[in-house]
């Protein structure tokens, strides 16, 4: 077996399974994945995310709202600007492991 922690089947509820499915749905949109990947390097504002992803500002703003609701990103205000970052190391790890799997 690998060295990843394992959660026993008996400790997993039906709600946990729905939440996990919702988490993976968040990664089913290329624009969302591009935004998350851009944020792996650190905090960025909407203009920087628009530039890095090539998506329109409205598309970026729309997807950021969803990612925030899914608790995958966090934001803070800096004057009039809103600065975004990944919510935690788990999001970074999911993206990194997913890319490693794709590149195998």
Domain 14-103 listed as CATH 1.10.10.10: yes
Q: Please tell me the predicted confidence (pLDDT) of residue 2.
A: 52
Each residue of 11-44: pLDDT tens digit? 899 999 999 999 999 999 999 999 999 999 999 9
Residue 9 has pLDDT above 90, yes or no: no
What residues pair up with 45 in beta bridges, in sequence order?
Answer: 83
Each residue of 76-86: pLDDT tens digit? 999 999 999 99
CA gap 22, 70 in Å, rounded:
8
Each residue of 53-76: pLDDT tens digit? 999 999 999 999 999 999 999 999
Measuring CA to CA, which residue among 44, 28, 32, 31 is closest to residue 72?
32
Question: What ranges do the domains of the chain cover?
Answer: 14-103
Residue 6 has pLDDT above 80, yes or no: no
């Amino acid at each position: 077996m690998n060295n990843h922690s394992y959660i026993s089947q008996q400790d997993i509820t039906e709600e946990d399974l729905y939440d996990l499915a919702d988490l993976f749905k968040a990664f089913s949109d290329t624009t969302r994945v591009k935004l998350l990947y851009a944020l792996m390097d650190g905090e960025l504002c909407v203009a920087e995310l628009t530039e890095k992803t090539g998506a329109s500002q409205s598309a970026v703003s729309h997807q950021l709202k969803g990612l925030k609701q899914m608790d995958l990103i966090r934001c803070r205000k800096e004057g009039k600007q809103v600065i975004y970052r990944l919510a935690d190391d788990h999001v970074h790890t999911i993206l990194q492991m997913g890319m490693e799997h794709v590149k195998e």
